Amino acid sequence: MKKQLESTFEYLIFSSRWFQAPLYFGLIVAGLLYTYKFLIELIHLVTTVNSITEEVLMLGVLTLVDITMVANLLIMVIIGGYATFVSRIDLSGHPDKPDWLDKIDAGALKVKLATALVGISGIHLLKSFINIKEKPTDQLMWQVIIHVVFLFSSIMLAYTEKLMHKNHH
């Protein structure tokens, strides 16, 4: 009786991973919203290209890059998180299967996410530097500090993952 109760409880715990499925669906909806924002910004750039300065065009293009990087981050979280924490995704033989999907685990996913955050932070910093006349010095300082913290955290996560992977093998 005790063993059956324990097995049932363990199955319940294991099944609770499915609570995350609606969260991943929500991230898919967020990806659609980012696609919408991307298209709106692209249409705006296309329709105003003859009347805007190169600086404004560059800021618009960096916004498109930023939106794309956030969308890439969402895809990594959706696919990698679902495959790592909820259920395997059977894509055997699919020609578009991402290479990293076979090698992903929770640690590798964290490193990929941290690296993506550094990239997104870098784009925001570049946008601020291009538009430096409009930004207060203290705001720029905080953006640089935050970027450096993201960068340092990413390096430390990657190093920790490397150590753990080395000790595991």
Q: What is d(CA 94, CA 125) in angstroms, rounded to the nearest whole number?
A: 38
pLDDT given for residue 58 in this prediction = 93
pLDDT at 97: 81
pLDDT for position 43 = 98
pLDDT reading at 169 higher than 70: no
What is the pTM (predicted TM-score) of this model? 0.79
pLDDT tens figures, 26-69: 999 999 999 999 999 999 999 999 999 999 999 999 999 999 99
CB count in 10 Å sphere of residue 123: 18
| pLDDT at residue 165 is higher than 90 | no
Determine the Cα–Cα distance for residues 78 and 89; give it in Å rounded to an integer: 11
On the question of pLDDT at 167 being above 80, the answer is: no
List, for residues 130-159, the tens digit of each pLDDT value.
Answer: 888 888 899 999 999 999 999 999 999 888
Contact between 24 and 83 (Cβ < 8 Å): no
What is the pLDDT of the chain when averaged over all its residues?
89
The string of pLDDT tens digits covering residues 88-116 is 888 888 888 877 777 777 777 888 888 88
Question: Angle CA(130)–CA(134)–CA(137) in degrees, nearest 5?
Answer: 90
Residue 162: predicted pLDDT: 84
Q: Tell me which amino acid residue 136 is.
A: P
Provide, rounded to the nearest whole percent, the portion of the chain with pLDDT above 70: 98
User: Cα(92)–Cα(96) distance, rounded to whole angstroms?
Assistant: 10
Owner of token pair 């500090």: 145
Domain range summary for the chain, segments of one domain joined by +:
21-168
